[in-house]
Structure 1
Amino acid sequence: MTCAVFAIVLSGCANPTARLTHDAKDIEVRIDGSFDPQDCQWVGDVTGSEGHWYSYLFFTNDVMIRGAVNDLKNNAQQLGADTVYMINPQDFVTSFTVFGTAYRCNSQ
Structure 2
Amino acid sequence: MLLAGCSTPMATLNGDADQIEVRFDSHFDPQECQWLGDVTGSEGHWYSYLFFTNDVMVRGAVNDLRNNAQQLGADTVYMINPQDFVTSFTVFGTAYQCQR
Largest Rg, 1 or 2:
1
TM over 0.5: yes
Number of matched pairs: 95
Partner of 2:49: 56
Q: Which runs of 5+ in 1 are unaligned?
A: 1-7
Q: Does 1:37 align with 2:33?
A: no
User: Which amino acid in the other structure matches residue 77 of structure 1?
Assistant: Q
Q: What amino acid sits opposite 1:80 in the alignment?
A: G
Matched, 1:24 2:17: yes
2:80 maps to which residue?
Answer: 87
Superposed CA RMSD in Å reads 1.3
Q: Which amino acid aligns with 2:46?
A: W
Bigger fraction of residues in helix: 1
TM-score under structure 1 length normalisation: 0.84
Indicate which of 49, 73, 79 corresponds to 2:66. Answer: 73
Shift of 1:21: 1.3
Identical amino acids, percent of aligned pairs: 81
Do the aligned residues in 1 keep the contact of 2:9 with 2:59 (CA within 8 Å)? Answer: no
SS of the counterpart of 2:77? Answer: strand
Counterpart secondary structure, 1:25:
helix
Q: How far has the Cα of 1:46 moved from its partner?
A: 0.2
In the alignment, the residues of structure 1 paired with residue 11 and residue 37 of structure 2 have an alpha-carbon distance, to the nearest angstrom, of 20
Q: Deviations over 1:49-81 (max 9, x none)?
A: 000001000000000000000000000000000
Matching residue's letter, 1:100:
G
The normalised TM-score by structure 2 is 0.91
Residues in 2 aligned to 1:104 and 1:86: alpha-carbon distance in whole angstroms: 14
